[in-house]
Amino acid sequence: MRHVKANNSCVLLIDTDSQGHASLVTTGRNDFGTDNSLYTVLMADRKEASNVLAECIVQSERDADLYVLPATPLLEQAERELQGTAGSPYRLADPLAKIAPYYAAIVIDTRPSFSLMTEMALVAATDAIVPVEPRYLETVGLMSVIGKIHEIRDGWRIQNLRVSGVLVTKMDKRVRGHHNMLNELKAHPMLGKLLCGVIPMNEAISYAHRHHKSIFTQDPKAPASRAYAHLVGRLVKQIGGA
C-alpha cells in the first residue's frame, strides 16, 4: 500500500489454507496451533472471538505494515467440527468486522477448492479476486468458480460481495498456448471485463518466497514486481482503499 501512497498502509493477511504457505512466507513460521492461529478464532466463544482474533494477529517479519492471522493444519479439524453448526459461515466475518477499520485492506487467502473455510472467507469479503494460470483447464473452470461465488453471495445475502477481478499468474511469454489462453480470456464477453492483471512467470517471486521477503524488496525492478505494483494501484482505485 505504501507503493501507491495510500493514507493507511497497514494490511492484514488472513491465511485460511491449512497448508499455511502464506503464513510461512510472511512470518517465517509454520508452527502455529491451537492458541495462536485462525483455528483459535474459529473455535472461540463467539462473544470473545473479536478479542481472540486481535490477540492471534502477528506482525510480518518482512514488512512492518503487514499483519498476519496465520493458518494451521488444525483448520481441517475445525471444518469438520463446525460443519452443519448454525451460523458457522459467519465465524470469521463477525469478529473481523470489529477490527476491519484499523486496516487499509484485508486480504483473505483461500485454498484452490471450495470448502466451508472458503465459504467463511467469502462471507467475510467484499471483493473476490480469482487467480488463474493460463492453461486450458484453468480457464474452463473460471465461469464455474464465479458462479459458485455468486451462489454464496445470494444464498447468504451478502450484498457487498462481488467478483472484482480475474488475475492471470505465471504467464510465460515464451509459451504460445499461454498467449492463446490470454487472448481467449480477453475476448470473452464477461471474463474479459474482469481481467485485472497479468503476472509474468518470474524467478524473483521464488527467491522472495525462499528468503521470506516481499517481491518489492527482493527485486523492485523485476517484471513481476512491476506487474504486482500495477495490480495494487488498480485495486486501490477500484475498491476505494486509498
Kindly state whether residue 94 falls inside one of the protein's structural domains.
Answer: yes
Helix (H, G, I), strand (E, B) or coil at 23: helix
- How many whole angstroms from its chain centre is CA 188? 24
- Per-residue tens of pLDDT for the chain, all 242 residues: 555 556 678 999 999 999 999 999 999 999 999 999 999 999 999 999 999 999 999 999 888 899 999 999 999 999 999 998 999 999 999 999 999 999 999 999 999 889 999 999 999 999 999 999 998 767 778 999 999 999 999 999 998 999 999 999 999 999 999 999 999 999 999 999 999 999 999 999 998 888 878 898 889 999 999 999 999 989 888 766 44
Give the pLDDT confidence score for residue 237 in this predicted structure.
84
Q: How many beta carbons lie within 10 A of that of residue 95, not counting itself?
A: 23
Query: 141-167 pLDDT, tens per residue?
Result: 899 999 999 999 999 999 899 999 999
- Asked if 60 contacts 67 with a C-beta cutoff of 8 angstroms, the reply is yes
Kindly state whether residue 217 falls inside one of the protein's structural domains.
Answer: no
Give the pLDDT confidence score for residue 5 in this predicted structure.
59
Give the pLDDT confidence score for residue 219 in this predicted structure.
93
Any bridge partners for residue 130, and if so which? Answer: 166
Give the pLDDT confidence score for residue 3 in this predicted structure.
56
Q: Does the reported pTM lie above 0.95? A: no
Helix (H, G, I), strand (E, B) or coil at 132: strand
Kindly state whether residue 26 falls inside one of the protein's structural domains.
Answer: yes
Kindly state whether residue 139 falls inside one of the protein's structural domains.
Answer: no
Kindly state whether residue 51 falls inside one of the protein's structural domains.
Answer: yes
Give me 46's grid cell: 463467539
Give me 1's grid cell: 500500500
Kindly state whether residue 54 falls inside one of the protein's structural domains.
Answer: yes
Give the pLDDT confidence score for residue 176 in this predicted structure.
95
Residues of the domain holding 55: 8-114
The tally of domains found in the chain comes to: 1
Q: Mention every residue, 6+ apart, whose C-beta is less than 8 A from residue 35.
A: none
Q: What is the DSSP letter of 7?
A: S
Give the pLDDT confidence score for residue 1 in this predicted structure.
57
Give me 170's grid cell: 505465471
Kindly state whether residue 208 falls inside one of the protein's structural domains.
Answer: no
Kindly state whether residue 105 falls inside one of the protein's structural domains.
Answer: yes
Whole-angstrom CA distances from 56 to 50, 90, 159 are 10, 18, 29
CATH number for the domain harbouring residue 16: 3.40.50.300
